[in-house]
Amino acid sequence: MSGRFAAVLGGLLLLLLLLPLLSLGLSAPPGELLAGARHPSFAPAAWLSLRTTLISLGCIVVCGTPIAWWLSRNTGRRARVVELCVDLPIVIPPAVMGVALLQTFGRRGLFGPALESLGIALPFTSAAVVIAQVVVASPFYIQAAANAFRRVDPELLTVARTLGASPAEALLRVGMPAALPGLLTGASLAWARALGEFGATLLFAGNAVGTTQTLPLAIYAALESDVRAALAISLVLAGIGALLLLTLRGLPRLLRWPGLERRALGGAG
């Protein structure tokens, strides 16, 4: 393959990536977009998306950080099995995950009768939105966090342990501060994935305004009645994604804190 032909193919792919976003940005004048943003479903969907994604991100960080730390410290067969389980939601279509969640927590699902006996109904609730987001977004944080922990200098952890830090203290006071840029990158990617979640949420949580209708679901619903609202919501999500990407690109430079490792070890002592 000649260099010119490869450049043409690469240019075509680049156009395919950029032209849809450019078309979206030029699709409507600001006045129509403002009118679409005043659509009755816009504000409830935006508030629900913000609330549920922050909750799901908190769950992912709290529960995923120990998994990522363990994966970074282990390389055996068990670690490979755990890593495979963590990565499964990336390769399984979100719609399939939605059906799987229904078969797990639905009324006739694996845990449905037990939950019903306790008076708990998860499907088609805001809690179902959070669960769907956690399932599809967790791998992005865990992968990034594990890679960040692998880059932590082992001597820092050894010194922390010799200073009397327990394994948990070594993680909190040394491992996490040293791996902070990677952790923030993973958290940002997980939040973006949760914000854009559609398939699993639609099947497991439904599309009820104010209860389970997130921004992506609001776009889906608005396309049938008010295209301006769909365009406004789409541009909001595209803008958030672009801002997040720019932030991630500048994050490593912003977090080059002098003396970070020294302060971490001081905290461990």
3-state secondary structure 71-86: HHHCCCHHHHHHHHHH
pLDDT of the residue at 1: 59
Find all residues with CB under 8 Å of 191, minimum gap 6, and list them: 53, 57, 137, 244
Distance of alpha carbon 222 from alpha carbon 237, whole angstroms = 15
CA distances 166 to 155, 180, 182, 251, 269, Å, are 15, 20, 23, 30, 11
SS3 content of the chain, % helix, strand, coil (to 5): 80, 0, 20
pLDDT of the residue at 173: 80
Domains of the chain, each with CATH number or no CATH: 35-268 (1.10.3720.10)
CA distances 255 to 22, 84, 175, 182, 188, Å, are 32, 31, 15, 10, 15
Distance of alpha carbon 47 from alpha carbon 28, whole angstroms = 24
111, 105 in Cβ contact below 8 A? yes
pLDDT digit string (tens) for the chain, length 269 residues: 577 888 888 999 999 988 988 888 887 777 777 777 788 888 899 999 999 999 999 999 999 999 999 999 888 899 999 999 999 999 999 999 999 999 999 988 999 899 989 999 999 999 999 999 999 999 999 999 999 999 888 887 777 777 777 777 777 788 888 888 889 989 999 999 999 999 999 999 999 998 999 999 999 998 888 888 888 888 888 888 888 888 777 765 665 544 444 444 444 44
pLDDT of the residue at 236: 84
Could you give the angle at which helices 227-254 and 30-37 cross, rounded to 10 degrees? 100
22, 235 in Cβ contact below 8 A? no
Distance of alpha carbon 94 from alpha carbon 96, whole angstroms = 5
pLDDT of the residue at 254: 60
CA distances 47 to 71, 171, 201, Å, are 35, 34, 16
